Amino acid sequence: MQQVVTGEAVALDLRPAGLPSRILAGSVDAGLQLLLLFGFAAVAAAVGSTSSAAADATLSTVVIVLVLIGYPVAFEALLRGRTPGKAMMGLRVVRDDGGPIGFRQAFVRGLAGAFLERAGVTLFVGAIVTMLLNSRSKRIGDLLAGTVVLQERVSVRGGLVSAMPPPLAEWAASCDLTGLTDELALSVRQFLSRSTEFTDLAREDLGGRLTRAVLDVVTPAPPPGTPGWAVLPAVLAERRRRDEARLARDEELRRRLRGRLPQRRR
């Protein structure tokens, strides 16, 4: 089990997908891709063709490339990192920071899979070797795209970091959090989730140092007398709230833009 830092700098205890589950997911997707290729071939045979052999070969090559690359790219871009095979095995592709992948990451992974890994120059060996040698089970496409495949169906350890202390909600909403780095936020998250494992002396020392580090980059200062154990979760909870609000605004903007697109005339 390893920790992945999300876009709001909250660490989630999620397990990178192992080789067996990824092979099974890949097998399901490969089977569906074969069905698509057989479907295209059946349609072409039924329709018939009067073109030359060279044109038929070119069209066949284009269809194969589109299926090999377009299938994973389309599903991962539209379903936020999941293909039918990954969904069946409870896997999802995310960015290294835990955020959802976009078309760019999906496209890089698709190209690497088609030309460098599966039927490409390494004939699966490159993907398997890199996954076995990488602590996060990354294949070549993951290394190039900056992504990691996670096993979603794993229990997640809870913590107190997402709970906003009510008296600090107004202060946190007014804070400038741009100076709070992912590394510092991760350290705070780890401290809060494991604080019961520390001795009283160690907890007081580490908590004090983390609180000072956070207050050095967060403005304005909290109300006088605010304890550090309240400052730390308040800052992380507010950062997550802002990120969720931004994602909601982006989604609403996309819906409005789709609604304003002119409809094609029949």
Q: Does residue 29 or residue 166 have the better pLDDT?
A: 29
Measured between alpha carbons, how far is 50 from 30 in angstroms, rounded to an integer? 31
Is the pLDDT reported for residue 119 higher than 70? no
The residue ranges of every structural domain in the chain are 2-151, 166-260
CB distance 35 to 71 below 8 Å:
no
- Sign of the alpha-carbon torsion through 212, 218, 223, 229: negative
Q: Which residues contact 107 (CB under 8 A, 6 or more apart)?
A: 73, 77
**3-class SS letters over 183-238:** HHHHHHHHHHHCHHHCCHHHHHHHHHHHHHHHHHHCECCCCCCCCHHHHHHHHHHH
C-alpha span between 121 and 140 (Å, rounded): 12
Burial of 251 from C-beta contacts in 10 A (0-12 / 13-18 / 19+): exposed
Predicted confidence band at 127 (pLDDT cuts at 50, 70, 90)?
Answer: confident
Q: Give the pLDDT confidence of 70-102 residue by residue, as tens digits.
A: 999 999 999 889 999 998 888 989 888 777 899
What are the residues whose beta carbons fall under 8 Å from the beta carbon of 7, sequence distance 6 or more?
A: 97, 98, 99, 243
- Which pLDDT score, from 0 to 100, does residue 144 have? 93
What is the per-residue pLDDT across 177-228, written as a single tens digit (0 to 9) for each? Answer: 989 888 888 888 888 877 777 777 777 888 888 899 999 999 999 988 787 7
pTM for this structure?
0.53
222 CB contacts (<8 Å, ≥6 apart)? 168, 171, 215, 231, 234
Q: How far apart are CA 97 and CA 163, in angstroms?
A: 21
Calculate the average pLDDT of the chain: 80
Q: Which of 111, 109, 114, 185 is nearest to 149 (CA)?
A: 109
**How far is the C-alpha of 99 from the C-alpha of 6, rounded, in Å?**
6
pLDDT band at 51 (very low <50, low <70, confident <90, very high): low
Residue 123 pLDDT class (50, 70, 90 cuts): low
* Cα–Cα distance, 121 to 153 (Å, whole number): 33
Q: Are 214 and 168 in contact (CB under 8 A)?
A: no
